[in-house]
Amino acid sequence: MSSSSSSTTAASPAAAAADGGGTGEKPVAAPYGSWRSPITADVVSGADKRLGGIALAGDGRLLWIEGRPEEKGRMVIVKEDDKPVDIIPQEFAARTLAQEYGGGAFAVKDNVVVFSNYKDQRLYKQSTKSAGVPVPLTPDYGGPDVSYADGVFDPHFSRYVTVIEDRRKSSLNPTTTIAAISLSNGVVQEPKVLISGNDFYAFPRIDHNNKRMAWIEWSHPNMPWDKSELWVGYFSESGDLTKRVCVAGSNPMLVESPTEPKWSPKGELFFITDRGSGFWNIYKWVEHTNEVISVYTLDAEFTRPLWVFGISSYGFLGESNHIVFSYRQHGRSYLGVLDSDIGSVSLLDTPFSDLSNVVTGNDYFYIEGASATVPMSIAKVALNEDRTKVVSFSIIWSSSSDVVQYSSFFSAPEFVEFSTSSTGQKAYAYFYPPSNPNFQGLPDEKPPLLVKTHGGPTAETRGILDLSVQYWTSRGWAYLDVNYGGSTGFGREYRERLLGKWGIVDVDDCCSCARVLVESGKVDERRLCITGRSAGGYTTLASLAFRDTFKAGASLYGIGDLSLLRAETHKFESHYTDNLVGNENAYYERSPINFVDKFTCPVILFQGLDDKVVPPDQARKIYKALKEKGLPVALVEYEGEQHGFRKAENIKFTLEQQMVFFARLVGNFKVADDITPIKIENFD
């Protein structure tokens, strides 16, 4: 990044623009895509700090897991202080590989933190007060073959209760259980299995008042958002689960996916489910009648799909029955406090338009959030006495604390509602127009468009500040982020549009939205490009194989062969594609690898060599076939990267190579940045 001191020698507005602020002079007319921007790939890769969960220590201070690209993606437990302090030593990292996507890698009680160590996947105990040597709690099995996630301290017995995934016998079909790990005598013991027999478990949550535990379980072929069950079990004096009751999810006439059980300070069980309306709302279990009653109902989503463990979308303030919650509606988040005794709700005003996890204290809470101008952050929010208004809001952590210097370059997302190819149906997207205070496009030119297809596919893209989006828009690209049918945040009916139609509905929606922008004169029809990661990479490849809307594409660890994916992917998703694709014929017909003859434009592929979700063979097969067909194609492979790139240098390289690939092959402009392009087969 240029230093501001060099701006005195700048000879033109374009050169001065590299320093991060508008020059005050009239913008220079230059081809879209060629604009110089201070939001470089170095800035983007350095700003890409991740959050891996939040929790409250005994002294009321926050702990969080922070992923650092500059430390090769290492996940570090950090404690809030005058200056944040790393809790775990340099040679440790807090990350679990349970269900491949992990999450729920640590828990804290008083001043003790238990965490899953990335390298050996064992659980360790550590004081939050000193950076001592972590003490192992689980056996050494000679390799990272047993993972732990979503654990909680058991207040009734001196132990830690957690979900365990054991891959020792089979990595493709590991056993999942809920088990207890002793914390008492300092001797490492085998975990004691409390619950087993089903395919998957999550959210073991223990009532502090009585000896009972709630949990969620589900079985193949369902994903947890398709159909799951909420159970409660009662502990005997020896700590075993004796009696068990299914609270929600067992009625065959009522399709629902209960999630996020939590015991209130009074010992009542609250949870979120989507029975009836198809929207995830807050409910409560009445134990003595075994009834489920609605606490708050709205056509909005009060949680998100369980891709990772440890989601916390709501929490109780102190010992009260006031619940802090957030929900998604029409592409934005709302934050509120619910008095669950009387059912009254107060919506809270904060600078965040997008919210995720929350942890609560007495009259304050911490929330993960962002907006179109604020990157992913954690804020501490204090409330007034009757808990209806915000009295203070302070950001204590930011994924990128110095982004404010680039604010004059930010492109604000426009929420787009568009008609799909199904009559009367709408879908949604965020459109970011080109934005740079120092440049404007040429009068007779429209900008190139990059369409992004999010992963999942059961996920949601959100209109928040993301420097990897601003990297494109500040150089003169238009950018479109599509919530195609099948995305979350819009209820079950919208989510289930993709069932049996993956590779059709998502592709149609991405093409339809791009067409809407062309027809409204906002983008150049001859320069439509598409990019996506993972499942989004599949939508990208399918769009290129089965439609002629786009002129070039980039697939990041995308799926080319659906049958190969089904045969090789991990247990969590091993039946997922059956619901999304359907029969054998559909598997063949919708796999881009089988229709390479239909590809007509250039493709660049990026792949991590340690990827267990989408193995490297997929990218290699597509690359080989396109190369043999004579289309311009490039493949970039990264040693040591899994599903998703975590190392700063690889994040940077991926971004720059996409930019220069599109510029050379469809852009008709020269990129302002000094990037050495990789060799493109059938072009260089």
Alpha carbon of 674 to those of 21, 135, 246, 614, 660: distances in Å?
A: 20, 48, 61, 32, 10
Q: Which phi and psi angles does 596 have, rounded to 5°?
A: -60, -30
Cis peptide bond upstream of 457, omega within 30:
yes
Buried (b) or exposed (e) across 238-267, using 16+ Cβ within 10 A?
A: ebebeeeeebbbeeeeebbbbbbbbbbeee
Give the domain-ending residue among 392, 408, 424.
408
How much is the pLDDT for 343? 87
Give the domain-ending residue among 373, 388, 408.
408
How much is the pLDDT for 531? 98
How much is the pLDDT for 1? 29
Task: State how far the Cα of 238 lies from the Cα of 394, in Å rounded to an integer.
Answer: 45
Angle (CA) 201-204-210 rounded to 5° is 145
Angle (CA) 468-472-475 rounded to 5° is 135
- Per-residue pLDDT tens over the stretch 159-207: 999 999 999 999 889 999 999 999 987 789 999 999 999 999 999 999 9
Write the Ramachandran bin of 400: left for phi over 0, alpha for psi from -120 to 50, otherwise beta.
beta
In a domain, 12, yes or no: no
Four-residue CA torsion sign, 235, 241, 243, 245: positive
Q: Answer yes or no: do 360 and 437 share one domain.
A: no
Kindly state the tokens that stand for 475: 């150089």
Strand partners of residue 152: 161
- Residue 22 pLDDT > 70, yes or no? no
Q: How confident is the model at residue 444 (pLDDT cuts 50, 70, 90)?
A: very high
Q: Are strands 528-533 and 439-440 parallel, antiparallel or unpaired?
A: unpaired
In the chain, what percentage of residues exceed pLDDT 90? 85
Four-residue CA torsion sign, 616, 617, 623, 626: negative
Higher pLDDT, 37 or 617: 37
Q: How confident is the model at residue 401 (pLDDT cuts 50, 70, 90)?
A: confident
- Residue 245 pLDDT > 60, yes or no? yes
Contact 629, 597 (CB under 8 A): yes
Q: Answer yes or no: do 607 and 562 share one domain.
A: yes
Kindly state the tokens that stand for 441: 């496009």
In a domain, 487, yes or no: yes
In a domain, 204, yes or no: no
- Per-residue pLDDT tens over the stretch 358-395: 999 988 999 999 999 999 999 999 999 999 999 999 99
In the chain, what percentage of residues exceed pLDDT 70? 96
Contact 386, 348 (CB under 8 A): no
AA letter at 324: V
AA letter at 656: E
- Per-residue pLDDT tens over the stretch 634-645: 999 999 998 888
Angle (CA) 47-48-51 rounded to 5° is 120
Q: Answer yes or no: do 403 and 469 share one domain.
A: no
Cβ neighbours for 631, distance < 8 A, ≥ 6 positions apart = 599, 600, 601, 602, 603, 682
In a domain, 112, yes or no: no
Q: Answer yes or no: do 487 and 625 share one domain.
A: yes
In a domain, 567, yes or no: yes
Mean pLDDT of the 321-344 span = 94
3-state SS assignment for residue 667: helix
Task: State how far the Cα of 635 lies from the Cα of 647, in Å rounded to an integer.
Answer: 18
Number of domains in the chain: 2
Q: Count CB-CB contacts under 10 A for residue 368.
A: 23
Q: How confident is the model at residue 24 (pLDDT cuts 50, 70, 90)?
A: low
Cβ neighbours for 586, distance < 8 A, ≥ 6 positions apart = 500
- Residue 11 pLDDT > 60, yes or no? no
Q: Answer yes or no: do 497 and 583 share one domain.
A: yes
Q: Answer yes or no: do 345 and 424 share one domain.
A: no
- Residue 17 pLDDT > 60, yes or no? no
Buried (b) or exposed (e) across 487-521, using 16+ Cβ within 10 A?
A: bbbbbbebbbbbeebbbbbbbbbbbbbbebbbeee
Q: Answer yes or no: do 608 and 476 share one domain.
A: yes
Task: State how far the Cα of 38 lies from the Cα of 606, in Å rounded to an integer.
Answer: 25
Q: How confident is the model at residue 307 (pLDDT cuts 50, 70, 90)?
A: very high
- Per-residue pLDDT tens over the stretch 88-143: 999 999 999 999 999 999 999 999 999 999 999 999 999 998 778 999 999 999 99
In a domain, 94, yes or no: no
Q: Which phi and psi angles does 485 have, rounded to 5°?
A: -55, 130
How much is the pLDDT for 407? 95
Nearest Cα neighbor of 456 from 488, 478, 479 is 488
Q: Helices in 455-583 by DSSP H: which ranges?
A: 467-473, 492-495, 505-519, 535-546, 562-568, 576-581
Q: Answer yes or no: do 326 and 464 share one domain.
A: no
CATH number assigned to the domain comprising residue 635? 3.40.50.1820
Higher pLDDT, 45 or 336: 336
Contact 497, 488 (CB under 8 A): no
Q: Provide the domain limits for residue 423.
A: 410-666
Kindly state the tokens that stand for 342: 């009387």
Q: Answer yes or no: do 335 and 424 share one domain.
A: no
Cβ neighbours for 77, distance < 8 A, ≥ 6 positions apart = 63, 64, 65, 86, 87, 88, 94, 106, 113, 115
Task: State how far the Cα of 392 lies from the Cα of 371, in Å rounded to an integer.
Answer: 18
Task: State how far the Cα of 311 lies from the Cα of 162, in Å rounded to an integer.
Answer: 15
Cβ neighbours for 308, distance < 8 A, ≥ 6 positions apart = 99, 101, 102, 103, 104
Give the domain-ending residue among 408, 443, 473.
408
DSSP characters over 120-183: T--EEEEESSS--PPEE-S---SSS-EEEEEEEEETTTTEEEEEEEE-SS-SSS-EEEEEEEE-
Q: Answer yes or no: do 500 and 595 share one domain.
A: yes
Q: Answer yes or no: do 359 and 425 share one domain.
A: no
Q: Answer yes or no: do 404 and 446 share one domain.
A: no
In a domain, 482, yes or no: yes
- Residue 19 pLDDT > 60, yes or no? no
Q: How confident is the model at residue 565 (pLDDT cuts 50, 70, 90)?
A: confident
DSSP run (H or E) holding 617: helix 617-629
Buried (b) or exposed (e) across 393-421, using 16+ Cβ within 10 A?
A: eeeebbbbeebeebebbbbebeebebebe
On average, the pLDDT of the chain sits at 93
Contact 655, 479 (CB under 8 A): no
In a domain, 17, yes or no: no
Four-residue CA torsion sign, 203, 644, 97, 399: negative
- Of 19-28, 268-277, 333-342, the poorest mean pLDDT is in 19-28
